[in-house]
Chains A and B, each alone.
Chain A
Amino acid sequence: MLPKLKISAFLLKRLERTKQQCSGCLFGVFYGEGTLLLLSFNIESSLGQLNYEQIQHRFPAELDLCGLVKFGGCTDGEAHLNEVIKSVDITDNPILLQCELGTLVGLRASFFVHGKLEEVPYEVMEAHQLYNDFCFTRLQCGFFLQTAATPESVAREMHVLRKRVADGNLVFNVPQTKIFINNYGPLDKQFSGDSQIQDLIDVIPTPGHEKETASVDKKKLKGQNTPVKRLAPTGCDYEVIPIDVMRSRSRDPVSGEPPHPALSIAVTNEEQIRVQVPLEIEAMAILCRKTKLQRLYDVLIESICRGLRLFELSLIEHLTESGSGKLLVPASYHFYPQEFGHFVSCAYLEGLSDDTPSMLMRRKRLHRQFALPISRPYFRRANQMLFLGETEDAPWTPLLNTHIGLRPSGVVDGKEYLVNGNYHYYHYLQQQVQDKGWGCAYRSLQTICSWFVLQGYTNAPIPTHLEVQEYLHKINDKPAAFVGSSQWIGSTEISMCLQGFLNVDSKILHVASGAELATIASELAMHFQTQGTPVMIGGGVLAHTIIGVDYCVQTGQVKFLILDPHYTGADDLATIQIKGWCGWKGMDFWAKGSYYNLCMPQRPILY
């Protein structure tokens, strides 16, 4: 019987955007009673070494190679069809997708049945279905790699480590709980043989903020009937189960056999200098919530092995490229590109910054393999997912994405064009800075900078008012007396600061009066569609941040999603939304007698 085929909506969008004739490998999850869910793909080069095997190690465990996708008139030979089909092992029927260039019209899905193609229908799995049906595990454990600094030795010792991982002696534990799982299943009595992953999720306490979360849960449950994602990190709608790893150090005596030998200790003098490299593995796996807990052990073992593989490739690649014979400590980074709908893991070495030529080359290759544009970063360290419990020690940060949860704008037949990504809401009097009455543009600049930081374009700190003034004086735009003053700045100064602090160019747009803002609505819509950055607008004595427009092409009606930096109260989301400090504003919001300048930051070419 052929498996039931489902395709992620995220994957379909990515397939639609591919506009060159090529081929790639498909990766999916086999779950339930025989359902294959396609989640991801990569672009294979038509010449040279195929990279799907290395790509698979970057995916969470259970997301495996399952077939091939061809775009346009790509031939079987160019697609390495036979080679890829042989490598599929999670199903006896590899999948083939045939897709036209730049469109989903004519998309055909076929299974290989005894060497012949059999076309099958497919079902689209939307985002909310994915979030409700699947979850991830995030596992942390440590090893010490003892090796010589040569690629051969690293490969050999990592192989030994993987064997040790699979010897059946590991025990998995949910942190802060007494939930343990060994190779026979869960040890806790509350779980039975039929327990599922969802049962495990239900009993895991929310990491930190128990009381606060409880009150928030009550509010949400009253207003909405959607299930609460207690374990979902910020920016991700999947729940992530944390896992710690332990190792059983006990061996039971076997009756009828001689007793195990007593402790002995060997001191070995190595012929060559060796090094000990700490390996703090972080590994992920994707699981259907209805998966039985009995399978969790094997899945977690596989995720560790993939993490070790990533570390191994990273170490060997560095040794081969640098030729220095020096090993660096690898670290795991997990990224969640919004276009993907799943996690991607990378192993980066400490001591190599993101802008090192070798690191740039690797990320560029990743972008090409995943058909991602090179105009925005996805795999820089700053883009990594911050999981629950990790940000408890972080310093104070403003509210995040305050527009989420707002009521519709009310524009008839309108279409929303919103900021693309995360931002922090900066406003008056934060951080004990008495900037009421004069600091609105500075706050707008801080909000824009936070967008670039959260999207991974930079690690630079958010500039303070004083730093902004010092920079403007440094470039001779302002006199020395400006530093430390309470003077306003406008769009032009904002663009200078963005260039100076973040190396970001901006487009300046000018309108003679507030009434003319309607004429640039389409341009703003295009900006949010292509760039997606917050826009600073200054006019008269005020400055605001525009984070979206709702625009009707036919009628010309437009409303602006305004993030108002003049707010002086506490960081309370309900107040900010109800009082309209973050809300939709119509044309009457703008003063007709004032001219306005808009600073529209442009995405730099960065990856």
Chain B
Amino acid sequence: MRTVLLSKHDELYLEKCAQENQFSYGIIVGHQADLTKSVVVHLARNNEEDADLEDLSEVRLTISDINSQALASQWLSASKMCPGSFDVIGIFVSSVRSDVVNEQSAEFKNAKKLFSDIYDLLLKSNSSFGVYTTDIAQTDFVFLSYSLADKKVLCKNYSYGNGGTFTNMEFRFVDKPFEWIQLECSYDFDDVLPILDSSRRVNIEDQFQSMIVSVRKNLLASEVFLQNEVVEDTIDLQAYIKKKKTKVDKLQPTSTTGGTATASSNTTDSLPRLASEGIIGGTETIRASIVLPMKCQLSKPTDIKVREFSGTLHMSGIITSKVFCNPRNSIADVKRFLRDDVLRSLITRIQVYCDGLTDPYVTNEALYISEPPRRVFFSLPSEGPSASVGAVVQFSEYLFRGEAPTVVVAQAKQILDVDLDPETISVEAEGLPDDTHFNNCKMDADCIDDSGIMTSSMPKPELSRSLYMVGIAVALLVLLSSVALHFVLAER
């Protein structure tokens, strides 16, 4: 049975939602720590119905009144803002009434239908550009219900299929903050895909779809290195960090002032916590690199053949990836989170870009440059006691060229129910898209085109010979100058 771990801050948030609105609902952003534990990272109230709720507060007080479309929209938007190690794992409701925590009430039974509706909406939206994960899509979700009257929380696991079922799920409010370890990766695109469409007008959305499929296929076959070394998949992140710390300590034998021998947490109430002094994960970011296999076809060798094309799709630039993992995550999970983050970010920015297109067909111009929005990062503002230690969790949003960070502020408020300061938004992870790269390619091609001769792989021995000749010429010049000077002096 899975256990859901919440922080004290989450409990306060649920109480606050009930006090302010009498009935609130929203999404649960969580993290799969291991096979048995899910950590709640963030609770976000749905704010799309705020105005209506004030006027119709007596009517919209039940689960059946929840707008599933609005909730699915929030769910989808939040998924795009999450790093690869997090995802929306369920729904919460918070009410002043007590029947929301009563399993026998009719109110509770409506939650099953709500989940089913939302799941169907998510499936429909995912079919447009593909799934956001390189792993199996989840079919189990968390339903969290809070009653202000009873000060009680009900937690259930919802499984999709056969009409949907609720099963019991343990939950626990944890006093100690969760620990996060940050991993970063910068995925560099430099791919040229042929446009095999024989029609004159190119549907750019179809081409983007092919591009995403290609990238996803490559990511599935990729390998991930941590700190530029091969790490075994079966160990957990905590063991890896300890190994790295031991290695660092051996390299620095003089640093014996640590002395933190006490392991504080043997309790079952919280996840194991490493000593904060000297933790690599606590103070440093682990850099990862993604390595792709170089094969013409990863799965269909029989499709290798010559194909004609009349256009190309050239991808250039980077996708910055940041994921936040729990020390108990296995390295295999960490690698999967990184892959998911790259894929999710790619799909999100393509989707946001295509939503803004007025015409999906490319004109007959020789060169048509698309600038998807770039990724920016922000941290959740801390209120009261800190909910986590180690790395500060960051979410992301996407800005087009020329857009101001205030767009991110509004989106964060609407989707994640947080108030951001525009100055705290980090826009430096990715630079503005660079158009000169495509022009440079053309210039390089033009330069190479001038030399029609097949260049030899042998080094040019004439170069050394010419240097010898220059040296000899200089020596002769010096000699002649000396002789002339000698004669001039002799005449005097």
Contacts and interface: CB of A to CB of B under 8 A. Distances in A.
Interface of A: 53, 57, 86-87, 89, 140-144, 146, 152, 155-156, 159-160, 170-171, 173, 178-180, 182, 184, 187-189, 244-253, 258-271, 273-280, 305-306, 309, 312, 316, 327-329
A458 to B, nearest CB: 26
Contacts of A271: 366
Nearest to A162: B457
Contacts of B296: 142-144, 278-280
B65 interface: no
Contacts of A171: 223, 291
Nearest to A145: B306
A250 B290 contact: yes
Interface size class on chain B is: 35 or more
Contacts of B288: 250
B225 A187 contact: yes
B35 interface: no
B423 interface: no
Given A146-B192, A248-B291, A273-B310, A267 B370 contact: yes
Contacts of B51: none
B136 interface: no
Nearest to B442: A268
B405 interface: no
Contact of A276 (B222, B309, B371, B431): B309
Contact of A275 (B208, B308, B444, B452): B308
Interface in B402-428: 428
Q: Which 7 A-B pairs have the closest CB atoms?
A: A262-B374, A142-B296, A261-B434, A264-B433, A250-B289, A262-B430, A278-B296
Interface string B274-308: 00000000000001111111111100000011111
B313 interface: yes
Nearest to B298: A142
B483 interface: no
Interface in B193-233: 194-195, 202, 204, 207-208, 211, 222-223, 225, 228-230, 232
A274 B432 contact: no
A141 B371 contact: no
A57 B454 CA distance: 14
Given A246-B291, A266-B316, 15 more contacts: A89-B458, A142-B297, A143-B294, A146-B309, A152-B449, A249-B290, A259-B429, A261-B432, A261-B433, A263-B319, A265-B370, A267-B311, A267-B370, A268-B438, A273-B310
23 contacts: A142-B296, A144-B194, A170-B294, A171-B223, A244-B293, A246-B222, A249-B189, A250-B188, A250-B288, A260-B186, A261-B434, A262-B317, A262-B374, A262-B430, A265-B211, A265-B316, A266-B369, A267-B202, A268-B314, A269-B365, A275-B308, A276-B306, A280-B296
Interface string B325-349: 0000000000000000000001001
Contacts of B455: 159
A258 B374 CA distance: 15
Contacts, number: 230
Nearest to A155: B454
Contact of A160 (B228, B305, B308, B448): B448
Contacts of B372: 262-265
B491 to A, nearest CB: 42
B201 to A, nearest CB: 10
B148 to A, nearest CB: 45
Contact of B448 (A156, A267, A269, A309): A156
A186 to B, nearest CB: 9
B293 A245 contact: yes
Contact of B431 (A152, A260, A273, A306): A260
Which among A89, A156, A171, A262 has the highest number of chain B CB atoms within 10 Å? A262
Contacts of A160: 444, 448
B187 interface: yes
B352 to A, nearest CB: 12
Nearest to A312: B454
Which among A187, A244, A258, A278 has the highest number of chain B CB atoms within 10 Å? A278
Interface in B457-476: 457-459, 461
B435 interface: yes
B186 A87 contact: no
A263 B365 contact: no
B487 interface: no
Contacts of A246: 222-223, 291-294
Contacts of B434: 261, 264
Nearest to A268: B312
Interface in B352-376: 362, 364-372, 374-375
B93 interface: no
Which among A53, A89, A264, A316 has the highest number of chain B CB atoms within 10 Å? A264
A279 B449 CA distance: 22
A265 B313 contact: yes
B430 A264 contact: no
